[in-house]
Amino acid sequence: MIIEKAGKILEEHNLCNHCLGRMFAKLGKGTNEERGRAIRLVLSMEINKEIEEPKNCEICNGIFKRMSEFLNLALEAVKDYEFETFRIGSRFPREILEREKEIWEKFSITTGEPINREFNRELGKMFAKATGKVPSERPDIVIILDPFSRKVELQVNPIYIAGRYRKLVRGIPQTPAPGFDESVATIICRIFKRYFNGKCIFKGAGREDVDVRTLGRGRPFVVEIKNPRKRNVDLKIIEEEINSSRKVEVLELRFINSEEAEKILTTRHRKLYEALVYVREGITREEVTKVVKSLRGATIRQRTPRRVLNSRSDLVRIRKVYDAEGEYLDEHHFKLKLLTDGGLYIKELISGDRGRTKPSVSEILGKEAWCELLDVLDVLEEDENVKGNSREV
């Protein structure tokens, strides 16, 4: 039945061995070209006359005879990129795909393979052999070729790198802001951009104010490198160059995938803070103890602070203080160390923000209190215990 159907197809259509064999791609083993050549040979033997392969195939227009040309186009397109894995894609004119589909429908072909699939596979095999690179479903680079226009498009998949940053000085925003020459993001990204030769996008797991330092193990962050031309980069060298700024340090840099990046950025991290609190009316050791006892284990109802209302929705957030410690310094100052949920505004937890945060240090004391200095001492991982670990308050 295969030979009979193939004979009827060739009576009406001029097809090369590739396109003929592709009509029966789901049957047997071997390439479509081998399959088509075998079918043509059997048909020739039956009529005792050679059925020659046409010079001009009405489906593919001879593209399978030009595969070396397409390979060279692909090789030229990727010559400036480092990559280990790849995938070949293609774009065919609609009329080519419809012409093939019409023949399938006309002769009730149910065993066929689309022309673009064969093209991708055959070019992929040639590309792998020529470069030593590995085909993959999650590749570093996707090469999309239009064999009729000879245009090549590259889709270079981004690189994701995770780490933690320490902001060692005050007066630097996390991301670029008007009035500031640099930021945590620009200090980090200018090094990544230079080494990976791509666009760097910085994303922090939460943020701190301009006047707040981030110390200890630092805050988790992710950088996404779009359209990287370099991939084989020693992250230790990047760490050293960033850390030489003496303003921002990075540590624990590692390559990750997009799913890991999403988890890092969406996980709500508990944080350990240290604040220098000022009380104009004066403070006693007993009052410091009172603040600590009142805040330890407290549930905080915090309406969006007035200072960020222009960029945050006005709503009430429920957050928890897990632990607290206090240290009396002088009649107007004490240190307050707090382990809290992420997303709790510490400055407003101290001041009360005109009653928008309850309870607050000001409310507990019955006196106005302000945060003069604030540091992030640690950002806990999701699986770290609040109690019983080395970072317990």
Cα atoms in the Cβ-side hemisphere of radius 13 Å centred on 322: 17
165 a known binding residue? no
Pairing of strands 151-156, 141-146: antiparallel
CB 357 within 8 A of CB 302: yes
CB 71 within 8 A of CB 124: no
Query: Tokens for 279?
Result: 């009380």
Q: What distance lies between CA 58 and its chain's CA centroid?
A: 43
273 a known binding residue? yes
Q: Give CA–CA dist 41/31, Å, rounded.
A: 15
**CA separation (Å) from 358 to 78, 287, 310, 324?**
59, 18, 22, 16
**CA separation (Å) from 388 to 248, 381, 384, 392, 393?**
30, 14, 9, 6, 10
Indicate which residue of 80, 140, 146, 209 is catalytic.
209
Residues in the chain: 393
Q: How many Cβ atoms are within 10 Å of 53's Cβ, its own excluded?
A: 17
For residue 234, indicate whether it is catalytic.
no
267 closest CA partner among 225, 219, 307: 219
Catalytic residues: 209
Task: Return binding residues for substrate.
Answer: 273, 345
